[in-house]
Amino acid sequence: MPSAEIITIGTEILLGEIVDTNSAWLARRLRDLNVDVFRTSTVGDNAQRIAAIIRETMERTQIIITTGGLGPTVDDPTREAVALAFGVETEFRPELWEQIIERMGRFGRTPTENQKRQAYIPKGAAAIENAVGTAPAFLVEFGAGLHPLPPLPLRAHVPKAGEGLGVRGVLISLPGVPREMEYLAENKVFPYLRSHFNLSGTIKARVLHCAGLGEGIIDDKIGDLELLANPTVGLAAHYGVVDIRITAKAESEDRADELIAGVEQTVRERLGAAIFGADEETLEGVVLAGLAQRGETLAVVEVNTGGELSRRLSRAGSAAFPGGKILSGLAEGQSLADAAMAEMKSLGASAAIGLTATPAAGRSEAEIVILTGRGRKVEKRGYGGHPKNVSNWGANIALDLLRAELG
């Protein structure tokens, strides 16, 4: 099984101006191809630094994918950096220039002279036509001595005896625009990787979401499963919610599903109702779905939370959440329960959550009120994490308490 590393290129990522979503997308899709991603890294728009990290990565992995730095401006240095890493020059490809002219013509525009930069790629690289953007991508195959090799045709094919002899690995440079990157990966890069590395099998993951139990308690209950080799089991805590990831490697998706299912059954038997969902399911989505099935609705009153709970409920997009109030404080003499009851009556809702967050260094607090047809539940809980996280944590605790009341 080949290993892979992902390098995202862009000073704007290092400065925190944009979030790198490309690495996460590529890692998930490479996992599905049965490729182990060992490392991701980010480097700024500096050709020397990019070349250095490429050379370093070539020493330890077979598949390198870069994203970003293929635009037309002087701060798009990936082409030059890759050429520098391999010790070659960039060369002008007239066919790429024609593609750029054609793409720009679709928008009724004529490319400027600086866009000709995009028609240059490292000498010996195989161009990857970009049908959805103006930045051509490319790949460079390299040998055991980390030198570039004449590339095979970029197509899905079954390697013949001796074809690609001496190839140790490949570097693939893709645009940083997510939709362009995804299109090229799905339609050009992944077919190439499947054939070139004779990829078979898959790596699949299933994530179970738990609430109401801390990470330590969950570890105590399923710690023996975390020692398995295949599937592997790992935990990740998120402010009142704990994820259990079950990852299997197999020759087919069906076999991977079988491996995962056996472990998942054991986890569910041990943790029971603490598991509220899996994969893309969210705590707020599960609670609202339960209310919707009953034909019920939920009102919310939040105090000093920044609207964290209402924002998450709104994103779930359910008619079971007609709305609520976000307050900076309660009226004099008014309790959180009174405010929640008033909002529930105002909206004609059948359930309500009241949530107050009190952040403080060392120990924050949350007051939670749950109102249902069964009655009223009021709790105050302490939180020892970062004060800025108390609203998120409190929202998860409140949703889980309502989930328990709904049965």
pLDDT one-digit tens code per residue, 17-72: 999 999 999 999 998 888 999 999 999 999 999 999 999 999 889 999 999 999 88
Topology of domain 283-406, CATH: Maf protein (3.90.950)
Q: Are 22 and 178 in contact (CB under 8 A)?
A: yes
Give 299's strand partners: 323, 352
pLDDT computed for residue 167 by the predictor? 56
**233 phi, psi to nearest 5 deg:** -130, 130
Structure tokens at 80: 């030059």
Closest CA to 64 of 174, 147, 151: 174
Question: How many Å apart are CA 305 and CA 388, to the nearest integer?
Answer: 10
Name the pLDDT band for 140 (thresholds 50, 70, 90). very high
> What pTM was estimated for this model as a whole?
0.73
Each residue of 335-373: pLDDT tens digit? 999 999 999 999 999 999 999 999 988 889 999 999 998
Tens-place pLDDT, residues 115-129: 888 999 999 899 998
390-406 and 308-315 helices cross at what angle (nearest 10)?
60
Q: Cα-flanking dihedrals φ and ψ of residue 194, to 5°?
A: -60, -45
pLDDT at 1 over 70: yes
H/E element, 376: strand 375-383
Helix, strand or coil for residue 51? helix
Q: Which distant-in-sequence residues (6+ apart) come within 8 Å of 33 by Cβ?
A: 190, 193, 194, 199, 202
**What is the C-alpha to C-alpha distance for residues 116 and 94, in angstroms, rounded to an integer?**
10
CATH class entry, domain 202-278: alpha beta
More confident residue, 6 or 143: 6
Q: Where are the domains of the chain?
A: 3-196, 202-278, 283-406
What 3 state SS string does 113-177 have?
HHHHHHHEEECCCEEECCCCCCCCEEEEEEECCCCEECCCCCCCCCCCCCCCCCEEEEEEEECCC
Q: Which CATH architecture has domain 3-196?
A: 3-Layer(aba) Sandwich (3.40)
Tokens for 272, please give them. 């029971």
Phi, psi for residue 164 in degrees, rounded to 5: 75, 15
Rounded to the nearest 10 degrees, the angle between the axes of helix 308-315 and helix 283-294 is 70
Scan for tokens 């328990």, then name that residue: 404
Helices (H), 177-223: 178-184, 190-196, 215-222
Percent of the chain scored above 70 by pLDDT?
Answer: 94
Residue whose pair of structure tokens reads 């195989």 in the numeric block: 126
